Amino acid sequence: MKKKVLFVASLFLATATFAQDGLTSKKGEAYLPEAGDWALGFDGTPFLDYAGNMFNGTANNSVNATWVGNNPSMTIVGKMFKDETTAYRMKLRIGFGSTSTKNIHDTSNTTVTGEITDEMSTSNFMLTIGGGIEKRRGNTRIQGFYGGEVLISFGSSGSSYTYADNAGGTTTGGNLHTATWTDDFVSGTTTTSNGERDTKISNGSTMIVSLRGFAGVEWFLAPKVSVAAEYGWGLAMASQGDGERDTESYEVATGALAGSESSIARKHTTGGNSSFGIDTDNNGGMITIMFHF
């Protein structure tokens, strides 16, 4: 946060020193947005971190952003100016992804020879849409703004699992098979067990409705180019539906020959939840770079 403040302060001093006084540039270009202008903004934190780290020997010098959950800084911000002091705000985020994790483990304690590979596949989806109105004040290139907006988010996620070792033909009739399989794909650990193991997990779909007020400061460092810092306060209601967890185990019937195993599939339901809260947001100080055209 300190790096961001120092960087913005240095830009301010540079502009104060070299730029022409007033609300137009030396070429006669207006600094501030006008009626009918559109604007597009994005999270400026990675770029401010990059510039700030230029002064510390390039330590941690990266412009990579982190994709984390329902992060509001990952949302695209758009504006349409009704006039010089009023703008309509729009927000959009559409995110989806999938990850495949494989674990190759030791075969010495399994009934399968050769390479043993278990696999976990995860997927997620997030959609956020929003709209609101923004009012502005100020007669210089430093503008204050405030207003309100509504945001609605939808999300879902899930995982599926495949295992190489089904322990076929290792036990006598009537007993569950003992198999070696991955019980933690993050650490790559395995277990030897005849119990249930997950085959599919479907987390309940999530819906979040947020009604928030906001206030901030926007500084136009160049004609129609600005850096804005914003804080907000509001309420949020979230609801997550029931989830499902599918499992499997293997057994052979009493008196049957080894190797004639059958799969036992079970389905477990996890209850959903709901929450409600009123609080401030963007406590880290959301910084947005805006381009007006």
Any domain includes 194: yes
Burial class (CB in 10 A: 0-12, 13-18, 19+), 178: middle
Query: In which domain, by residue range, is 24 found?
Result: 2-42+74-292
Which of 238, 180, 176 lies closest to 207 in space, CA to CA?
238
* Count of domains observed in the chain: 1
Confidence of residue 196 (pLDDT cuts 50, 70, 90): confident
Chain segment 211-262, per-residue pLDDT in tens: 999 999 999 999 999 999 888 888 989 999 999 999 988 766 555 555 555 6
In sequence order, the β-bridge partners of residue 236 are: 210, 277
Any domain includes 51: no
For residue 289, pLDDT over 60 is answered with yes
Any domain includes 14: yes
Question: In the chain, what are the helix, strand and coil shares in percent, each to the nearest 5?
Answer: 10, 55, 35
Cβ(282)–Cβ(35) below 8 Å = no
Residues 6+ apart with CB under 8 A from 187: none
Any domain includes 198: yes
Any domain includes 272: yes
Pairing of strands 76-83, 86-105: antiparallel
Euclidean distance between CA atoms 215 and 229, whole angstroms:
9
Which of helix, strand or coil describes residue 239?
strand
Euclidean distance between CA atoms 44 and 23, whole angstroms:
24
Euclidean distance between CA atoms 101 and 124, whole angstroms:
15
Give mean pLDDT, residues 170-175: 51
Q: E strand or H helix at 13, and its extent?
A: helix 2-18
